[in-house]
Structures are given as structure tokens and as C-alpha cells.
Amino acid sequence: MEQKTILVLCTGNSCRSQIAEGYLRHFAGNKAKVYSAGIETHGVNPKAIDIMKEDGLNISSHTSNNVNEYKDIDFDFVITVCDHAKENCPYFPTKAIKFHHNFPDPSKLKGSDEEIEQEFRRVREMIKDYCHVFVKENIQ
């Protein structure tokens, strides 16, 4: 079976798209090549790295990439994980099937460290569930 290519798009490629990339790689295994990118690059959020470690996935080697770096790849799927990316994404001349799910941005929450961590966990679980279903329905 031919490997599918997936691009996960977010505004800054620091949290949500990084978490999604981690879970899509985990659930799809060698059946898909997964990339993530942003309209801007904000670096990988250390809290996203920590919260994924808690669930046994290491995304510390991920990089924050700009969507334009991947314009030559003919993706099978493009998943936008925030409304801003969906509305501002540059046009991709691709056959990719587009998916969209607006996840809350855990890095925007104001509060105690504990409240922020809880929000990261909550969003991580939402993204994990979404990625699990996505792979089951589109990759397997």
C-alpha cells in the first residue's frame, strides 16, 4: 500500500499542529508520512512537548515549519486545526482532501500553571481522539 501524506496546519505550528503530528504519526505508523506547518513559525511550545511526554510520545525533535516549505509536496490530506489557519491558509494547488477541526489554543489561556497544564491536557485529549478516528477512517 502506498504511503499517504498528511499536512497538519495551524497558525504558529507550536502547539495544536505539533500535538496532532505526534498522534497522527503514532496511530498511522508507517502507513503515512506526517508533516505539520504554520502560517507563521513560533517554535515548538515546551508545554506541548511536556504534555506529550506524559502520554509517552516524544515530540521534542519536531521543528516549527512554515507552510511554504511544503508547497512542492502533493499531499493526500490537509488538516487545519484552527479557524485562523483555515481562513488564512495560502492556496495549495493539490489534490488533497481537506479536513478542518477548530481546537482551542491552550497557550492562550491565562491562569495558574496548574490551570494552563490542565487546558493543555484537555486539548491534547481532544486532538488525540480526533487523530485516532481520522487514521481509522482515512488511513487504515
Residue in the block written with cell 499536512? 7
Give whole-number Cα distances, 136 to 31, 66, 125, 130, in Å. Answer: 11, 28, 17, 10
In this prediction, residue 90 has a pLDDT band, given cuts at 50, 70 and 90, of low
Provide the b/e sequence for 27-64 (b: ≥16 CB within 10 Å): bbeeebbbbbbbbebeebbebbbebbeeeebebeebeb
Whole-angstrom distance, CA of residue 87 vs CA of residue 102: 11
82 is catalytic: yes
Instruction: Answer whether residue 77 shows pLDDT above 70.
Output: yes
Predicted confidence at residue 17, as pLDDT, reads: 95
Q: Could you give the strand order of the β-sheet that contains 97-100, starting from the edge strand earlier in sequence?
A: 32-38, 4-10, 77-80, 97-100
Instruction: Answer whether residue 118 shows pLDDT above 80.
Output: yes
Q: Of the residues 8, 10, 39, 51, which is catalytic?
A: 10
Rounded to two decimals, the pTM is 0.94
Q: Of the residues 7, 37, 82, 139, which is catalytic?
A: 82
Q: Of the residues 15, 78, 89, 139, which is catalytic?
A: 89
**What cell was used for 126?**
481532544
131 is catalytic: no
89 is catalytic: yes
Instruction: Answer whether residue 31 shows pLDDT above 80.
Output: yes
Domains annotated for the chain, with CATH where assigned, are: 4-133 (3.40.50.2300)
